[in-house]
Amino acid sequence: MGVGKLYPHSFKKQKMNKIKGFLVILPFIATMSALHAQTKDTSSSSGKNKFVVLGNAEATYTASKGESSFGDINFKPIFLWKISDKLFVEAEAEIETGDGEVNLGLEYANMCYMVNPYLILHAGRFLPKFGAYRGRMGEAFINRFAGMPTGFGDGGIGAMNETGVGAEGGLPLGNIKIDYDLYISNGPQLLTDAENAGQFEYEAYTSNNKFSAIGGRVAILPFSNSSLEVGYSFQSKSKTGETGTSFQNVGVLMQAVDLNYFHNIPGIKSTVRFIGELKHQKVDNAIYQDADGNNLTFNNSPTSYYASATIRPSLVENKFVRNLEIAGRYSYFNKPTDAPWGGSNITQYEMALDYWLNWNCLVKFCYLKQKHESLIFNTQFVFGF
């Protein structure tokens, strides 16, 4: 008697999981094959309309006191379509295993029009440049750690995905450069349920009212070699609650400052990098209800920040040694004390030893220590673009 007959439900579920797993792996294999084939071809086509699929993939193993397992598999194909010299489309899907099932999401689908060398107009769903972590430093093959700083991932704060229109570009001014972004979007949606009261949905596909958010980022690169970048971001929405509810007029102002500096030091044959970011948001006062139906109000002004440093002996001759990188990170999340999702603040310390298998592929060995929690060990294998 087959296992399927003994446990028909379980067998069906296993079969479905296998099918889902195959569906996850299939595009990965196809993409890698296409990428391999493409890199062998050095010809240049005459047409202007060009398309390519690239992407990221990651797998993580986590071990802590009394628990160890292979975690979520994450695969993000990126579709890039150059329609003409002026028109360009970029889109990224996200396929990940979590909570025992395969989740599919649209990270961004952004249509761009290159107005002139210094101005790009874009529309669609995009990664807003709110700080430098989201969409840049947090990409798995750029992030030297297996996870995100506290307050920067799920349950954290700050803009994540937006749907709207914007203008962006770079401005050379003498020896320095100014980067800018400005956009109008649906903005975040205020959550009012007892568990998440005062938090936001930052990745909604649709709007919950007729009001828009305005946001942007300005960064200066003061050195001619672009080794230092300091940015300021903001996003403001005057009404974030659902239309027709008492929360409609609750506004939010988010702000962030970020810093990124790297430098090759011949004396120690190494490249060092310092990255940091601070995010803060101020939410208007509102009266929510807790799980027991009692009124709940609190000062909703969470802050999160992180600082990290890395050193890689990239200038030494020995190939094995120059592919190693050591990284350390400190992060902190100050949450509203009386919020249902608040309580005590979170402090995290992380150390990582990374090995670069390729310019865009690395293995990470990380230790994470959160105050009052046991030590967690993560190993992550990442391929990215």
Partner 1 sequence: MKRTILISALATIIVSSILFNSCSVSKKMADKSGAQLWAENCARCHNAPPPGEFNNDNWEIVGRHMQVRANMTQKDMDKIIAFLKSANN
Residues that bind partner 1 in the complex, under the rule CB under 8 A: 38-45, 50-52, 54, 78, 80-82, 88, 90, 110, 112, 114-120, 122, 129, 135-137, 139, 141-142, 167-175, 179-182, 184, 210-214, 216, 219, 224-227, 229, 238, 260, 262, 356, 359-360
Least Cβ distance, residue 44 to partner 1 (angstroms)? 4
Least Cβ distance, residue 85 to partner 1 (angstroms)? 9
Q: Which is nearer to partner 1, 133 or 332 (CB)?
A: 133
CA distance 216 to 132: 12
CA distance 198 to 285: 9
Least Cβ distance, residue 247 to partner 1 (angstroms)? 18
* CA-atom Rg of the chain in angstroms: 23
CA distance 161 to 186: 10
For residue 23, give the amino acid letter: L
Which DSSP letter does residue 242 get?
P
Q: Which helix H or strand E contains 88, and what residues bound it? A: strand 87-98
Q: Which is nearer to partner 1, 80 or 315 (CB)?
A: 80
Q: How many other CB atoms are found less than 10 A from the CB of residue 323?
A: 18
Q: Which is nearer to partner 1, 227 or 379 (CB)?
A: 227
For residue 196, give the amino acid letter: N
Q: Which is nearer to partner 1, 323 or 334 (CB)?
A: 323
Least Cβ distance, residue 143 to partner 1 (angstroms)? 10
Q: At CA 332, angle to CA 326 and CA 335, rounded to 5?
A: 160
Least Cβ distance, residue 179 to partner 1 (angstroms)? 4
Which DSSP letter does residue 49 get?
-
Least Cβ distance, residue 14 to partner 1 (angstroms)? 39
Q: Please list, in sequence order, all residues whose beta carbon lies within 8 angstroms of the beta carbon of residue 159, skipping any fewer than 6 positions away.
A: 128, 130, 134, 187, 188, 202, 215, 233, 235, 254
Q: Which is nearer to partner 1, 25 or 87 (CB)?
A: 87
Q: Which is nearer to partner 1, 25 or 119 (CB)?
A: 119
CA distance 380 to 364: 5
Q: Which is nearer to partner 1, 24 or 112 (CB)?
A: 112
Q: Which is nearer to partner 1, 41 or 67 (CB)?
A: 41
Q: Which is nearer to partner 1, 20 or 282 (CB)?
A: 282
**Residue 110 tokens, joined:** 């952004």
Q: Between the CA of residue 373 and those of 65, 145, 256, 337, 350, what are the distances in Å?
A: 10, 18, 28, 19, 13
Which residues does residue 78 pair with via DSSP β-bridges, in sequence order? 54, 92
Least Cβ distance, residue 221 to partner 1 (angstroms)? 8
**Residue 270 tokens, joined:** 């190494």
Least Cβ distance, residue 98 to partner 1 (angstroms)? 26
Q: How many other CB atoms are found less than 10 A from the CB of residue 156?
A: 21
Burial of 37 (0-12, 13-18, 19+ CB in 10 A): exposed
